[in-house]
Amino acid sequence: MNLSSLRVDSSPLTVPKGRSYGRNFSDERPLLHLPYESRISPKALSVSSPKVVTADEVSRLGSLSQVSGVLGCQWGDEGKGKLVDILAKHFDIVARCQGGANAGHTIYNAEGKKFALHLVPSGILNEETLCLIGNGVVVHLPGLFKEIDGLESNGVSCKGRILVSDRAHLLFDFHQTVDGLREAELAKSFIGTTKRGIGPCYSSKAIRNGIRVCDLRHMDTFRDKLDVLLSDAASRFKGFNYSKDMLNEEVEQYKRFADRLGPFIADTVHVVNDSIAQKKKILVEGGQATMLDIDFGTYPFVTSSSPSAGGICTGLGIAPRVLGDLVGVVKAYTTRVGSGPFPTELLCEAGEDLRKAGHEFGTTTGRPRRCGWLDIVALKFCCQINGFSSLNLTKLDVLSSLQEIKLGISYKIDGIPIKSFPADLSVLEQVQVEYEVLPGWQTDISKIRNYEELPLAARRYVERIEELAGVPIHYIGVGPQRDALIYK
């Protein structure tokens, strides 16, 4: 069955010389004791040099505020990394504020080489950008070092360009083990997590026995704290085998990690607020998306952090009043990975066709994504929560072969309209989606770079989404490459 045939009508750290916060570091005095300015690349502190851009791009980029953010409008995988990568050259700092290695951001460099990032902010390909991992992020150090090594081996310098918050919580391998045991426990009602240990790590944080990056400075007490964590996991899960040998191995490993991470550690709350005072420009990169928010998403089929606007303030330690423009990223259709309700899902060959056309497989897990039509009800809900100033509509080119395209414009139960996105999943599972059918354009748009050159049907689709969501679309993705972006 072809997709086109489907129609539905209806401050610096100082310590006494020689002291190392409870442990000895190898080689020379660790850089983590120096002011952060002395540890980062001079290029990363300078404002990016101007480049030749179109008038539309100048207008859009020039209007962005000093502190701006890029957040997801759906269930993740919308293409936030690409927009962050493009915008990064116009900002001094790109900061991650929440989530962990469950976030998968795919970006391409100028030569078209693909990079899959999980913890490192998507601004890393821009050599003049400082990348910051905020206090709200949970950090798996083996994964972080693997990403850094991969970037370095491909010619992307990370030295002096990445800072990790000393307040960020450490995610251990055992958190990932517990994540899998928890999913197995839930059996048929499993959440469908990435099994990257995100939930268990945030659980440790919430019950106040978590271990933070700053604890790596105190290896004399690190062992006891880790023992508490591992013992707690062993008492909770019968399948978790814990021994003192495991503890000893982890402690020795984290001694080595502490040495390596030293140059990256900083008081990022100070860094960010000091940069704001110095009028530097900061771009915040969200992980996951609003429909996976612990408060506003399809609970319990959500992530364990706040990927909506509120998570920016708590995840970076900045005041709400300094936040400016927030750009919401939304696909031209809808996808979701894992379990949970999905009102506009295409449970037929058409969904498979859309998956293949959009290459919809998870960056982090490789799992096939569930696909469906663009859900305007969910989009309006996300716009309301976040107060987006503009939207980035991605993957418009994926719809190019269709004769007709549908928008899910409202929910009803027994013919009665539902005014907002429901919290109750039993209600959400019963909704009937009312669709609006629009004509397709059936021509390749991947080479188009000016909005006026898009086919009339494509422009009508874009403008109808703007009208329904009540937020202007300023960026339109028509392919995965860096330059495959239309400024509207």
Q: One of 205, 331, 380, 488 is an active-site residue; which one?
A: 205
What is the domain count for the chain? 2
| CA diameter of the chain | 74
Alpha carbons within 13 A on the beta-carbon side of 46:
9
Contacts of 218 (CB under 8 A, 6+ apart): 21, 22, 23
Q: Is 20 contained in some domain? A: no
DSSP one-letter string for 378-434: HHHHHHHHHT-SEEEEE-GGGGTT-SEEEEEEEEEETTEEPSS--S-HHHHTTPEEE
Contacts of 266 (CB under 8 A, 6+ apart): 32, 36, 39, 163, 164, 165, 166
> How far apart are the C-alpha atoms of 161 and 47, rounded to whole Å?
14
> How far apart are the C-alpha atoms of 266 and 279, rounded to whole Å?
20
**Stretch 83-95: mean pLDDT:** 95
Q: Assess contact for 391 and 73: CB atoms under 8 A.
A: yes
397 belongs to an annotated ligand binding site = yes
267 belongs to an annotated ligand binding site = no
- What's residue 32's pLDDT? 35
Q: Is 79 contained in some domain? A: yes
At 273, give phi and psi (nearest 5°). Answer: -70, -35
288 belongs to an annotated ligand binding site = yes
Are 338 and 368 within one domain? yes
* 307 prior amide bond cis, ω within 30: no
pLDDT tens-digit readout, 111-145: 888 888 999 999 999 999 999 999 999 999 999 99
What is the three-class DSSP state of 436?
Answer: strand
Specify which residues 169 forms β-bridges with. Answer: 138, 212
480 token code pair: 């995965």
Q: Is 16 contained in some domain? A: no
Has residue 364 got a pLDDT over 80?
Answer: no
Q: Is 396 contained in some domain? A: yes
What is the three-class DSSP state of 474?
Answer: strand
109 belongs to an annotated ligand binding site = no
At 473, the pLDDT band (50, 70, 90 cuts) reads very high
> How far apart are the C-alpha atoms of 477 and 474, rounded to whole Å?
10
pLDDT tens-digit readout, 413-466: 999 999 899 999 999 999 999 999 999 999 999 999 999 999 999 999 999 999
**Domain CATH for 185:** 1.10.300.10
105: annotated active-site residue: yes
At 12, the pLDDT band (50, 70, 90 cuts) reads very low
Choose the final residue of a domain: 261, 293, 316. 261
DSSP one-letter string for 324-349: --EEEEEESSEEE-SSS--TTB--SH
479 belongs to an annotated ligand binding site = yes
DSSP one-letter string for 297-332: SSTTSS-SS--STHHHHHHHT--GGG---EEEEEES
Are 160 and 178 within one domain? no
Q: Is 331 contained in some domain? A: yes
Among candidates 337, 404, 422, which has minimal Cα distance to 371? 337
Are 368 and 256 within one domain? no
In which element (H, E) is residue 82 found?
A: helix 80-88
443 belongs to an annotated ligand binding site = no
Are 228 and 158 within one domain? no
Q: Is 3 contained in some domain? A: no
Are 389 and 437 within one domain? yes
| Location of structure tokens 């750290």 | 13
- What's residue 41's pLDDT? 58
Q: Is 293 contained in some domain? A: yes
> How far apart are the C-alpha atoms of 442 and 334, rounded to whole Å?
20
4 token code pair: 């086109």
205: annotated active-site residue: yes
Are 284 and 342 within one domain? yes
Q: One of 33, 90, 105, 281 is an active-site residue; which one?
A: 105
Are 418 and 483 within one domain? yes
Q: One of 33, 77, 179, 267 is an active-site residue; which one?
A: 77
**Stretch 251-278: mean pLDDT:** 97
Has residue 51 got a pLDDT over 50?
Answer: no
**Stretch 8-33: mean pLDDT:** 33
Q: Is the pTM of this model over 0.75?
A: yes
Q: Is 14 contained in some domain? A: no
Are 255 and 294 within one domain? no
14 belongs to an annotated ligand binding site = no
Provide the residue type at 440 as one letter.
G
> How far apart are the C-alpha atoms of 175 and 398, rounded to whole Å?
37
**Domain CATH for 286:** 3.90.170.10
179: annotated active-site residue: no
Are 338 and 460 within one domain? yes
Among candidates 82, 96, 89, which has minimal Cα distance to 127? 89
- What's residue 40's pLDDT? 59
Q: Which domain holds residue 192?
A: 169-261
